[in-house]
């Protein structure tokens, strides 16, 4: 179950400019924020523009700054919807 969800999320983000490896044995995906953003500012942008909640990495400590986290605990279809919304409202990213 989680492998399919992970693949939808990682492949979707990679198609938008991320270069993520597929994590093993976890139900979270960590990703770097694009150039010009903090963890908080990117999370706010994604929520406001795409209506998708991502967790800013700095909420997990100082070393989390520059990253965000997405959970694989929802249905695959909802993950695909989130990726589609990010693609539509955020688009390609650069690092």
CATH of the domain at 7: 3.90.1150.10
The 3-state DSSP class for residue 27 equals coil
* Chain-centroid distance, C-alpha 41: 14
Q: Does any domain span residue 7?
A: yes
Tell me whether residue 95 is in a domain.
no
Per-residue model confidence as pLDDT tens for the chain (95 residues): 899 999 999 999 999 999 999 999 899 999 999 999 999 999 999 999 999 999 999 999 999 999 999 999 999 999 999 999 999 999 999 98
Burial of 45 per CB tally in 10 Å (0-12, 13-18, 19+): middle
Whether the CB-CB separation of 2 and 61 falls below 8 Å is answered with no
Q: Look up the pTM and report it.
A: 0.94
The tally of domains found in the chain comes to 1
Strand order in the sheet with 55-56: 28-32, 67-71, 55-56
- Whether residue 94 lies inside any domain: the answer is no
Six token digits for residue 88 = 């539509």
Q: Is residue 71 part of a domain?
A: yes
Domain extent, residue 79, equals 2-89
Q: What is the pLDDT of residue 1?
A: 84
């Amino acid at each position: 179950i989680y492998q399919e969800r992970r693949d939808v999320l990682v492949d979707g983000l990679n198609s938008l400019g991320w270069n993520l490896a597929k994590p093993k044995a976890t139900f979270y995906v960590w990703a770097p924020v694009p150039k010009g953003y903090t963890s908080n500012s990117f999370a706010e942008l994604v929520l406001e523009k795409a209506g998708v909640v991502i967790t800013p990495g700095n909420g997990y400590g100082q070393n989390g700054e520059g990253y965000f986290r997405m959970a694989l605990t929802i249905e695959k279809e909802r993950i695909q919807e989130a990726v589609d919304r990010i693609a539509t409202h955020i688009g390609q990213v650069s690092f």
